[in-house]
Structure 1
Amino acid sequence: MRGQRMSIHSMTTWLKRQPPKVKAFLAVISGMAALVLLRFIVHDHDNLFVAAEAVHSLGISVLIYKLIKEKTCAGLSLKSQELTAIFLAVRLYCSFVMEYDIHTLLDFATFVTTMWVIYMIRFKLKASYMEEKDNFAIYYVVIPCAVLALLIHPSTSHHLLNRIFWAFCVYLEAVSVLPQLRVMQNTKIVEPFTAHYVFALGVARFLSCAHWVLQVLDTRGHLLVALGYGLWPPMVLISEIVQTFIWQLWYRILKSF
């Protein structure tokens, strides 16, 4: 047992000493290996999306625990929570008018808890909010996402405005974590509960990405046709991949602070 602990410690130390490019390469290899493993041990790959939403809820629960027990919001980004609330609100609207299902209820629960977190940061725990560190301009992501949604959106039979809204929430979700990562970068300190929250969302994003990739493989590419034609199907997959690696790589880098 002691030898195993020493081996794990040696491996961890070795990983921390590697340059970012090596860490990125190892992350890609690890992600591909995990995809292969999930394909064989999870029979219904739709369950991966449910698991992603469950892990996301777990991450929100960590924040709620932090806010209630420690009565501080230090290290949390209000702007990240606001971006999360925006894309959840848009996705809820689209779910109600386009495809009402169990995921709509799960999104609603996440939206309510996110709004509660925003309320606590903005009013109840405002004194501990690091506003000067939370200096990421959200219009840097909102405007590009809106423009991209106007140009590339689903080609289904739904109303054009609803299709644009759906594309907007997909793109915005992919980058909603950036303000939180900026706060962690500015403070150079990863507060434990914040780190657990970021890690949980990183896992959720990986499971969501795995769901889409494996579904495409299972249907031999027919899922892309079901999503529509043109640039939209690959943009969905690209958004999933981008947000997965934003979470994973940034978490590994900031963990070394």
Structure 2
Amino acid sequence: MNAFRLAGDMSHLVSVLVLLLKIYATKSCSGISLKTQELYALVFLTRYLDLFIYVVSVYNTLMKIVFIASSLAIVWYMRSHPLVRRTYDKDQDTFRHYTLIGGSLLLALFFHDKFTIREVLWAFSIFLEAVAILPQLILLQRSRNVDNLTSQYVLFLGAYRAFYILNWIYRFVTEDHYSAWISWIAGVVQTALYADFFYYYFISWKNNAKLQLPA
């Protein structure tokens, strides 16, 4: 494992911890898209079907368990916790996320490494992860003023994918015959979706002001 992959994993882990901290400490999920969280839960459940079948390393297995468990815990908190669910911005979180699921599944049926259930679902999870942040970004644009923990959550989530792109470049240069075109294309699309958020986050940080996104 190279430093870029490790930095990406740690950024991803920090983003989850920041979100859990926000929900647990404040008993609020205001500004958080339940639809995005449900999409991420689906991403991890379909990607890690081999959790107890194919073990790469203890680290790899633990990370899989952490991401599955944390994504399900976040969805449970937002849907079932009596205090947290009251703060959910249901009226603003209206993105039709089922279209993202359907589109990702359609792409996976045509573009995959091997036509097996496991490989098609793996490709599906990659395509879905690329666009899963869309409901969250749209919700932030609608709410305009973004609290610090929510903005940090999105920041670390975007950094995770950016580090993974550097990881792929590093592996392409240092490893013979390394190719992962499905992940590459989806990763570039996913990172591009964060570009606008990164810009306004940098401007707010530079001006020492609260993050505000344009409507």
TM-score by length of structure 1 reads 0.73
Aligned to 1:163: 119
Return the letter of the residue paired with 1:147.
L
In the alignment, is the contact (CA less than 8 A) between 1:48 and 1:211 conserved in 2? Answer: yes
Return the letter of the residue paired with 2:186.
S
In the alignment, is the contact (CA less than 8 A) between 1:60 and 1:113 conserved in 2? Answer: yes
How far residue 147 of structure 1 moved from its aligned partner, in angstroms, is 0.5
Q: Deviations over 1:23-59 (max 9, x none)?
A: xxxxxxxxxxxxxxxxxxxxx63x3223212211111
Q: In terms of Rg, which structure is larger? A: 1
> Following superposition of structure 1 onto structure 2, how do residues 21-170 of structure 1 map, counting pairs within 5 Å?
45=2, 47-97=3-53, 100-101=56-57, 102-124=59-81, 125-155=84-114, 160-170=116-126
Q: Distance in 1 between matches of 2:157 and 2:148?
A: 14
Aligned to 1:206: 162
Q: Distance in 2 between matches of 1:107 and 1:176?
A: 18
Return the letter of the residue paired with 1:252.
Y
In the alignment, is the contact (CA less than 8 A) between 1:199 and 1:251 conserved in 2? Answer: yes
Q: Distance in 2 between matches of 1:97 and 1:172?
A: 23
In the alignment, is the contact (CA less than 8 A) between 1:213 and 1:237 conserved in 2? Answer: no
Aligned to 1:244: 191
Q: Distance in 2 between matches of 1:253 and 1:140?
A: 28
Aligned to 2:178: 223
In the alignment, is the contact (CA less than 8 A) between 1:91 and 1:166 conserved in 2? Answer: yes
Q: Could you tell me the percent identity over the aligned residues?
A: 26
Q: Distance in 2 between matches of 1:105 and 1:118?
A: 20
Say which SS state the counterpart of residue 74 (structure 1) adopts: coil
Q: Distance in 2 between matches of 1:104 and 1:249?
A: 34
Return the letter of the residue paired with 1:223.
Y
In the alignment, is the contact (CA less than 8 A) between 2:51 and 2:64 conserved in 1? Answer: no
Q: Distance in 2 between matches of 1:99 and 1:173?
A: 22
In the alignment, is the contact (CA less than 8 A) between 2:11 and 2:157 conserved in 1? Answer: yes
Say which SS state the counterpart of residue 162 (structure 1) adopts: helix
Matched residues, number: 201
Q: Evaluate the alpha carbon distance shift between residue 236 and residue 68 of structure 1 in structure 2; reply closer, same or farther with a 3 A threshold.
A: closer
How far residue 99 of structure 1 moved from its aligned partner, in angstroms, is 5.7
Q: Evaluate the alpha carbon distance shift between residue 256 and residue 206 of structure 1 in structure 2; reply closer, same or farther with a 3 A threshold.
A: same
Out of 114, 118, 130, the position equivalent to 1:174 is 130
Say which SS state the counterpart of residue 49 (structure 2) adopts: helix
Q: Distance in 1 between matches of 2:24 and 2:62?
A: 25
Q: Evaluate the alpha carbon distance shift between residue 94 and residue 246 of structure 1 in structure 2; reply closer, same or farther with a 3 A threshold.
A: farther
In the alignment, is the contact (CA less than 8 A) between 1:84 and 1:114 conserved in 2? Answer: yes
Unaligned runs of 5+ in 2: 202-210
Return the letter of the residue paired with 1:169.
S
Q: Distance in 1 between matches of 2:53 and 2:116?
A: 12
Q: Evaluate the alpha carbon distance shift between residue 98 and residue 175 of structure 1 in structure 2; reply closer, same or farther with a 3 A threshold.
A: farther
Q: Distance in 1 between matches of 2:212 and 2:130?
A: 24
Return the letter of the residue paired with 1:64.
L
CA RMSD of aligned residues (A): 1.9
Aligned to 1:194: 150
TM-score by length of structure 2 reads 0.86
